[in-house]
Chain A
Amino acid sequence: MTAQSIPADQLLSAIRGAGVQDVVLVPDTHQRTVLDLLMDDDEIRTIHCSTEDEAVAVSAGLIIGGRRPMMQIQHAGLYASVNNLRGVALDGQFPIVLLIGLLGRDPELEPEEDGSSMVRLCRPLLETLDIPSHLLDGPDDLHHVAEAFDEAAERNGPVALLVGTTTS
């Protein structure tokens, strides 16, 4: 099956529908149309971080203070954030939902068949970290967004959503 581009307004609606109050981000080329909408949004606050490791800790701090954050990063940032995913999100048992863009993925292939190591190793890494993930391969998969927050709360830990192809 070919992954379909998700329109930015539909992804934003799903994020809003999940009750997200803060998007903690390091910019992702793959999701730039969503970022454009988010930065103009009056209800959802964006918090810009220098590194994805920081974004994990900021998200945890927001949760302590009673907010409902979501992380938005690129796959390269997943690799950069591993220490805090382990030490903060997993050990601290924080229900953090991560929206991760699979920049450069061949939409005709499963991520694990991709030529790019950044795409190919993403789900195996999440599996190693015991972080459940769900692929958003088109608008029909957007139900995973709200469900990921329920899943994160139930397991007291992080859940990842992988944006399969560039948003439109």
Chain B
Amino acid sequence: MTDNSEVQRMSLDAALDVLARRRKEQIVVGTMTANGAWRQKSPHDLNLACIGFMGGASTLGLGVALSQPDRDVWVIDGDGSLMMQLGSLGTIAGAAPSNFLHIVIHNGVYETSGSQPLPSQQQVDFARMAEGAGYAQTASFGDAEEFDSAIDELLAADGPTLIQLYTRPADRFYSARPTPPGTTPALARMWPPVAEALSND
């Protein structure tokens, strides 16, 4: 059994920096805490976000990956989010998109609601789960330099690939603002430009 209590953890910033340095024309689906940080580090017209349907990032990314087999799709998922749609590991492995990279930010807590512990916080291991589901590659990193050294080889090989990144929880929580009536939801604003960019490609 995995023991997460003593595992080395990097900062979320350092983890995302490693990815941002490799960002080219990949479609990236972000969610939860990592999404805001990612959008600042890697602003791009091919960024999508899972906002308002926690757990849906992995399968939204899967649909995009299956529709765009010649373009890489990265999903930057949360551990709590993935727990909500754990069956998606089997769905993704079954569909087996070679262009699919699944990053799981493993901080062990529901950070946006005040860092309450994840169920099985001390044991849960998404890389082992993904391996058992049938992902082509899985890996785990708690050190940013080690992740930086290994990622190019992982990116070069066929997916689906799941990389579990152990990160330290941030000391903050997210407070939802009221949505004014008549506001177009974020996803409805976000995806048509991405679809248009892909259709013009």
Contacts and interface: CB of A to CB of B under 8 A. Distances in A.
Contacts of A156: 188
B16 interface: no
B191 A58 contact: no
Contact of A61 (B63, B90, B188, B199): B63
Contacts, number: 108
A65 B195 contact: yes
Given A47-B66, A56-B56, 6 more contacts: A57-B56, A58-B63, A61-B67, A64-B67, A66-B67, A88-B56
A91 B185 contact: yes
Contacts of A150: none
A65 B55 contact: no
A41 to B, nearest CB: 16
A58 B58 CA distance: 9
A21 to B, nearest CB: 9
B68 to A, nearest CB: 5
A92 B187 contact: yes
Given A54-B91, A64-B48, A66-B195, A84 B53 contact: yes
Question: What band does the interface of chain B fall in when counting residues whose beta carbon is under 8 Å from A?
Answer: 20 to 34
Given A91-B52, A93-B188, A50 B88 contact: yes
Interface in B103-143: none
Nearest to A21: B67
A63 B63 CA distance: 8
30 contacts: A49-B87, A49-B91, A53-B55, A53-B85, A56-B56, A57-B59, A59-B63, A60-B60, A61-B59, A61-B66, A61-B67, A63-B67, A63-B195, A64-B48, A64-B63, A64-B194, A65-B64, A65-B66, A65-B68, A65-B198, A66-B68, A66-B195, A66-B199, A67-B66, A83-B53, A87-B53, A88-B187, A91-B188, A92-B185, A93-B187
